[in-house]
Amino acid sequence: MRSVSVFAILLLTCFAGRAQETKKDTTGLSSDSVRLKNGKVVNIRSYASRFDPRKAMFYSAILPGAGQAYNKKYWKVPLVYGGLLGLIAVVKFYNDGEAIYKEELFYLINHPTLKFYPGTLRTPESLRRTVDQARRQRDYFIILTGFFYILQMVDAHVDAHLKEFDLNPQLHVRIEPSYTPASGVGMGLTLRF
């Protein structure tokens, strides 16, 4: 009895293994290839390997925006440079302000007979607060500039990773009107895969 049950299990496992075979696609595409818009059939791995994430991040680390250009996202390059130049301009603004206020403070310290800086009503105490505030804001924007620099590197890295997801021609996003009796007519979002 035991040998019959072992034989039956082996027989069923043999048929179950054959059931896992894949059917051939009638369109001429294998499971690891895709037909592009121009009709050309490309292997997914070879298409996705054209964009190396580490290389994109390295290019962005060397020259900001170069990783975005490597990924062929040219519209992001002006955004990267605009963000970096804007943050650097703010850092320069606060750095110049700190230098001016510090010079006024040192002038008042070197001339103890004066209570106010000439031509203004700034006292040494108010100048100390202003210098500290300008320094704090400058340091804050230096940190934000560093975060933005790292963010553009991460953007290039992630964008190179996601290149292979642009390949599926069966992915559709379509907005269709829908009717809900409780709330009336509304808009629905249908994701078709």
- pLDDT recorded at residue 18: 46
Rg (CA), the chain: 32
Task: Tell me how many domains the chain contains.
Answer: 1
Whether 72 contacts 81, CB under 8 Å: no
Rounded distance, CA 100 to CA 83, Å? Answer: 26
Place of tokens 């925006």: 65
- Token pair for 171: 């992915």
The position carrying tokens 């509304």 is: 186
The model's pTM:
0.62
> pLDDT digit of tens for each residue in the chain (193 aa)?
676 666 666 655 655 444 444 555 455 556 666 666 677 776 666 555 678 889 999 999 999 999 999 998 999 999 999 999 999 999 999 999 999 999 988 888 888 788 877 777 788 888 899 999 999 999 999 999 999 999 999 999 999 888 766 555 555 556 565 555 666 555 555 554 4
> Which residue type sits at 180?
T
Instruction: Tell me the pLDDT tens digit for each residue of 28-58.
Output: 556 666 666 677 776 666 555 678 889 999 9
Range of the domain at 108: 48-166
Domain membership flag for residue 25 = no
Q: Name the residue type at position 26.
A: T
Say if 173 falls within a structural domain: no
Reference 173, options 153, 189, 150; nearest CA is 189
For the four alpha carbons of 136, 137, 142 and 146, in that order, the dihedral sign comes to positive
177 lies in a domain? no
Tokens of 21: 């075979």
**Contact (Cβ atoms closer than 8 angstroms) between residue 70 and residue 55:** yes
Which ranges of the chain would DSSP assign to H, the alpha helix? 2-18, 44-48, 53-62, 66-70, 76-110, 124-161
- Within a domain: residue 187? no
Within-domain flag for 192: no
